[in-house]
Amino acid sequence: MSENLTRGHRPSGSALSRARTMPPWSLLAAGAVLGGVLGGAYGVVKTPTYTATSYVVVVPTEKGDPSAALGFAQAYGRVATQLAVLGDAQVWAGVPVKTLESSVRTATSPDAPMVAVSATSSHPDRAVDMANAVTRSLTQHANASQKSTHVELLSFSRAVKPVSASSASPTVTGLVGASAGGLLGGLVLLVRPRRSTDIARQASVPNPATAADVHGQL
């Protein structure tokens, strides 16, 4: 009876033959469809995030050199995410320093003496508060040494509440998942073992040199 049960669980020859004769592109299509479904589901389940950005500009004082403003802007862009600035900003933002460290990014321009401070959060209002708090703290720290630097840091544009999420939409994550799934299917297709029928067919066909030798012996 156990032998009959074992035989009953074995796939039939027709099922194996159908699996072996499936076209190669079917694996690519299956990977793309599965990746697209998983990517789209991730985009739906993932909490959206919002980004708010504020800007400050470096201007020279009466004794300052206009050409030095650009260099100070680059320096202030690096200082903005340091603990000295974030320690004061946490009071106005209402979040811990670790949250600011992981959520705030700065960017500078090689052509303009301006610093952009961006904050990302799952709550739009919190993103605005963090961006404005960091620029406020940075401005105070920079202007405290105005007599020695001969430049002044001014608010150029305060952060406003974002109207749309900055994170990827389910459509985008679905497309990324489909691309990754198709690529994975292609890799599996390349490394899959060759079928025994293909190997036997190639082995049964003699190469030209062997055929010529056999013909000469005859």
Say if CB 86 and CB 103 are below 8 A apart. no
Q: What is the CATH number of domain 50-157?
A: 3.30.70.1130
> What DSSP state is assigned to residue 195?
P
Structural domain boundaries in the chain: 50-157
Least confident piece of the model among 74-88, 114-128, 140-154, 195-209: 195-209
C-alpha to C-alpha distance for 86 and 65, rounded to whole angstroms: 29
Question: Quick one: pLDDT band at residue 19, thresholds 50, 70, 90?
Answer: very low
Neighbour count for residue 129 (Cβ, 10 Å): 20
**Residue with more model confidence, 69 or 6:** 69
Q: Which of 86-100, 119-133, 168-182 has the lowest mean pLDDT?
A: 168-182
